[in-house]
Amino acid sequence: MTFPQMPASQTVRDSQELYRLTTELDTPGDIYEIDVSSKALAIGPNSDIAAVNAYYYYLDTISKQVVHPITVSVNSPFAGRVDARNDPSAKYPGRTPGRILVTAADIVPPVGWTPLNANPATDIISVIRPRIDLLTYFSPPPVIAERRADFFTRGRLTILGGGGGTWIAIPFYRRKFLSVRVVNTGALAGRSVELIGNAFTLNVTSRVYEVSLGVTALAAGLNATTSIAIRASTVGLFDYIIARFTGAATDGAAVNTFEYLFRATDEEV
């Protein structure tokens, strides 16, 4: 995990009605604990991950303890009691008191992952790690929102020449719309951006599926703006969207001469 989380029991002692589990994810195996029973679980507004799995102990009809899974997604919050059983009869393996265990249902790339055709030795590669945001309610919530806040990232970039590339990969889990805006602050010509859709798979021979969504030449005038829109109804759903910026093979690096803005939403525009 990226950083330790405050125990949910601390929020109860502080008389709060909500516990928020929010952190960046490092690996597909990140597991988090909630040590207090919940009245509802929902994806939070800042989550890149679209779905999580929650596991808890439940006593079945013949009084045997069984671990039950719940999948909570953006469009399917869970409204109902989920017990973190702390009584002596309910123990996880290793004599650990009962907990609600939470992990991402979407596939998370490991730290160090790069796009298929990127070359870490020659390219500039920026991968934004996905964030989990899970809301745990200790009393029945009046309303649970079934969409996330819009994802934004912006900055300045260097577009390499000489055959190299500048890559920006953003989490897109089950988002429906992406807008890309690039401003040419250096009045440079011969640059382009290719958008690539990425989906992680469990296939042992091909763990990543990537498909080009099109190449767009960047406008060459001073402060000229290039705008691109991607809609899931047209291209499909992806885990990540990757932008590859390239220049002419004879160009050198043009440092910080382009500004970019990415905006991803849960609803098509």
**Domain chopping of the chain, boundaries:** 8-104, 150-265
- Strand ranges across the sheet with 51-59: 32-34, 100-104, 51-59, 65-73
| Region 64-75 average pLDDT | 83
205-243 per-position pLDDT tens digit: 567 889 999 999 999 888 999 999 999 999 999 999 999
Predicted confidence band of residue 185 (pLDDT cuts 50, 70, 90): confident
| Region 42-64 average pLDDT | 83
**CB 179 within 8 Å of CB 269:** yes
**CB 171 within 8 Å of CB 239:** yes
- According to the CATH classification, is domain 150-265 in 2.60.120.680? yes
Rounded Cα gap, residues 257 and 82, in angstroms: 52
Distances (CA, A) of 183 to 156, 159, 179, 220, 269: 9, 13, 13, 9, 21
State residue 9's pLDDT score.
Answer: 63
Whether residue 162 is predicted with pLDDT greater than 70 in this model: the reply is: no
Q: Which two tokens stand for residue 40?
A: 């509802």
Which contiguous run of DSSP H or E holds residue 9?
helix 8-13
Average pLDDT over all residues of the chain: 84
Whether residue 96 is predicted with pLDDT greater than 60 in this model: the reply is: no
Lowest model confidence (mean pLDDT) among 13-17, 56-60, 86-90, 123-127: 86-90
In 10 A of CB 121, how many CB atoms? 6
